[in-house]
Amino acid sequence: MTTKPRYDAVIVGAGAGGGIVAGVLAEAGKRVLLLERGRPLSFPEVGRDHLRNQRLSQYGNNAGPDGPDHPRVFVSRANGRARVVLPHEGGYSNNAACVGGGTLVYGGQAWRFHPLDFKMASTYGVPAGSSLADWPITYDDLAPYYERAEHEIGVAGDASRMAHLPPYARDYPMPPVTPDTASSRTFGRGAAALGWRTLPVPLTVNSVPYQGRPACLHCQHCVGFACPVDAKNGSQNTLIPRALVTGRCDLVTGAMAERIERDTSGRVVGVTYWNERDERITVGAEVVVAAGGAVETARLLLNSGIGNPDQVGRNLQGHCYSGAHGLFEHEVVDGQGPGVSIATCDFNHGNEGVIGGGLLADEFIPLPIVVWKWHTPPDLPRWGAEAKAWMRDNYRRLMRIQGPVQDIPNPECRVTLDPDVRDRWGIPVARLSGGTHDETVRTAAFLHGKAVEWLKASGAVRVFGGPPGHSLSAGQHQAGTCRMGDDPATSVTDRHCRVHGHDNLYIGDGSVHVTNGGFNPVLTIMALAFRTGEHIAKSW
């Protein structure tokens, strides 16, 4: 075991959250070590393999992790059977592992959560079998940090159209990426006929040159891939380079964290990790920030014996997606990337008879093989001339309207340590078990109905695809496993994302989300990371 010099802060995970905390701390004058188990990846390294990417990982991933080094165990909700799964396989709930994490290859939908998303229990009550709770902070507490993320990461949108939110203090720094597409025209007409409000989807994509990088080329490989001209904004091209340029941040990649170290009094003193030469290193720090995503952060805490052992790993949630497909007589896909262009937030709350809701939006430009696998009508033959002709005639006439349903947290949906399976370094792996709460499935059925209504009002000549059933939703939107709260008995961190009982251990990712909104969660992860970084810089 080698011991390295002490840092002010060691951050485990260089994704949306960890990368931002690193930037904020380094700019505040702190000496920072940023550990990332993946590597920095260039556009050619990520590539454009339609079968091995963050959207469709049929045979592998393009932004890590990959191969046999990082197994997990998935327990089927249906039959209770446990099986070892690799990162590209169903049930693994992978998110990218590289510098930037998911933000290198995401679609970049940059939503603020709704004010009521922070007050779910007091708005709706607590359904039986759920752990639904209010956040200890409010929308107003987070609004300045949302704004900071929008400007410092770079979001394109139109604040005047965000009618479901309180007025913004500042508009987005860039106008919408694709204000006018065949899809936005079609669904804009449909929504107008229904009397629904719509808005352009805010994206972490440059619609105009911004922060020294160019505007989007409108290519077809956005979600799931890296950007050829670096017009997609994440931590890898904003806060991480800002951290490095201070000279106070060391970024170590290929670094697999094993445990958070404590001294004999129980105080957190550093992190032990394996470097890419398979050397086991313990590094000391004043402050430790765990930011490996909701699955790996829970695993790291459990492997370290840190945090309320009955709470860490519970309430695992991502998003169950609900929606429907529509076929049109005219073309609704015009090939203008990224593709997602119009949404409604009229059904995030206030829906008769269901808890919460979610946004509904059109889709990213789909890979042809994704349409073939996920979006064909149930009665289409799977082979032969008719199947081929359908794809030829309908690829551009097909649109899916869908959205992330606000998960009603289930304490039985959780990350534990597998008693037997170890990763390449001998570290116990995450075991994922449990599933969606019944109320989530009910809300999903409601949103499915709204998607059907929108498709029909917009002129769809055929609508197909049913609402989702029960599953384990974590994946790229994974959250909830170290929820924040004022009561240490029912939460893992306090309102500053600091682990209860430890004044120098923080969580810097979606694990702290009490609920995950009816929105893509990344902007909330980013906003919290700015807030947490600021709190650490002030406190240490």
Partner 1 sequence: MLTEAQERTLAAVVDRVVPPDETWPDSGWPGGVEAGVLDYLREQFRRDLADLVPHYRRFLDALDAEAAPATFADLAPEAQDALLRRVEQGDVRATGGWGNDLAFAPQFFRRVVEHVAEGFYTSPAGRRMVRFEAEEAAGVTA
Please identify, using beta-carbon distances, which residue of 353 and 384 lies nearer to partner 1: 384
Which span sits near partner 1 by CB under 8 A: 71-79, 190-198, 276-284, 329-337? 329-337
Residue 396 interacting with partner 1 (CB under 8 A): yes
Q: Computed from CA positions of residues 271, 275, 278, 283, in that sequence, does the dihedral angle turn out positive or negative?
A: negative
Distance CA 147, CA 143 (A): 6
Nearest to 447 by CA among 347, 516, 344: 347
Please identify, using beta-carbon distances, which residue of 204 and 504 lies nearer to partner 1: 204
Chosen residue from 43, 124, 372, 540 binding partner 1 by CB under 8 A: 372
Token pair 């165990």 in the structure block, residue: 73
Please identify, using beta-carbon distances, which residue of 89 and 286 lies nearer to partner 1: 89
Cβ contact 64:71 at 8 Å: no
Q: Minimum Å distance from CB 186 to partner 1? A: 17
Please identify, using beta-carbon distances, which residue of 396 and 456 lies nearer to partner 1: 396
Q: Minimum Å distance from CB 132 to partner 1? A: 40
Chosen residue from 384, 419, 426, 538 binding partner 1 by CB under 8 A: 384
Which span sits near partner 1 by CB under 8 A: 8-16, 283-291, 384-392, 520-528? 384-392
Which span sits near partner 1 by CB under 8 A: 252-260, 294-302, 379-387, 495-503? 379-387
Please identify, using beta-carbon distances, which residue of 148 and 218 lies nearer to partner 1: 218
160 CB burial (10 A radius; 0-12, 13-18, 19+): exposed
Please identify, using beta-carbon distances, which residue of 229 and 245 lies nearer to partner 1: 229
Count of Cβ atoms closer than 10 Å to residue 124 Cβ = 17
**Numbers of helices and strands, H then E, in the chain:** 11, 16
Q: DSSP letter at 306?
A: -
Please identify, using beta-carbon distances, which residue of 195 and 384 lies nearer to partner 1: 384
Residue 163 interacting with partner 1 (CB under 8 A): no
Nearest to 318 by CA among 466, 482, 105, 510: 510
How many Å separate Cα 216 from the centre of its chain?
22
Residue 216 interacting with partner 1 (CB under 8 A): yes
Which span sits near partner 1 by CB under 8 A: 38-46, 168-176, 383-391, 500-508? 383-391
Distance CA 41, CA 201 (A): 27
Residue 53 interacting with partner 1 (CB under 8 A): no
Q: In the 3-class helix/strand/coil scheme, how is 98-147 assigned residue by residue?
A: ECCHHHHCCCCECCCCCHHHHHHHHHHCCCCCCCCCCCCCCHHHHHHHHH
Residue 330 interacting with partner 1 (CB under 8 A): no
User: How does strand 320-327 pair with strand 398-405?
Assistant: antiparallel
Distance CA 216, CA 206 (A): 6
Residue 391 interacting with partner 1 (CB under 8 A): yes
Q: Minimum Å distance from CB 389 to partner 1? A: 8
Binding residues for partner 1, rule CB under 8 A, total 32
Chosen residue from 371, 441, 452, 474 binding partner 1 by CB under 8 A: 371
Chosen residue from 81, 277, 382, 538 binding partner 1 by CB under 8 A: 382
Q: Minimum Å distance from CB 188 to partner 1? A: 19
Please identify, using beta-carbon distances, which residue of 60 and 284 lies nearer to partner 1: 60
Q: Which residues of 275-291 are buried (b: 16+ CB within 10 A; e: fewer)?
A: beeeeebbbbbbbbbbb
Q: Minimum Å distance from CB 181 to partner 1? A: 9
User: How does strand 32-36 pair with strand 249-253?
Assistant: parallel
Residue 60 interacting with partner 1 (CB under 8 A): yes
357: left (phi over 0), alpha (psi -120 to 50) or beta: left
473 CB burial (10 A radius; 0-12, 13-18, 19+): buried
Which span sits near partner 1 by CB under 8 A: 90-98, 241-249, 333-341, 438-446? 333-341
Token pair 């995030």 in the structure block, residue: 348
Residue 59 interacting with partner 1 (CB under 8 A): yes
Q: Minimum Å distance from CB 206 to partner 1? A: 11
Residue 217 interacting with partner 1 (CB under 8 A): yes
Binding residues vs partner 1 (CB under 8 A): 50-51, 58-60, 215-220, 334-337, 365, 367-369, 371-373, 382-385, 387-388, 391-392, 395-396
